């Protein structure tokens, strides 16, 4: 099994409201996620 390195970036609708409960409807939502996989040698995996 070969090793891979995952780099990820996310976008949300805002910043967390830390003083509010997690299920508060005003909490931000995840709208986009990007993940790139690289070999330990730095080559991007297709």
pLDDT in tens, 10-43: 999 999 999 999 999 999 999 999 999 999 999 9
The pTM of this model reads 0.66
Enumerate long-range contacts of 26-29, CB under 8 Å, 24 or more apart.
none
* pLDDT for position 2: 83
Each domain of the chain, given as residue ranges in start order, spans: 5-38
Dihedral angle over CA of 28, 33, 11, 44, nearest 10 = 160
On whether the CB atoms of residues 34 and 6 are closer than 8 A, the answer is: no
Q: Which two tokens stand for residue 7?
A: 């780099």
On whether the CB atoms of residues 3 and 40 are closer than 8 A, the answer is: yes
Q: Which two tokens stand for residue 23?
A: 């299920």
């Amino acid at each position: 099994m070969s090793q891979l390195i995952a780099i990820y970036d996310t976008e949300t609708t805002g910043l967390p409201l830390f003083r509010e409960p997690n299920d508060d409807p005003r909490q931000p939502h995840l709208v986009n996620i990007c993940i790139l996989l690289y070999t330990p040698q730095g080559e991007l995996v297709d």
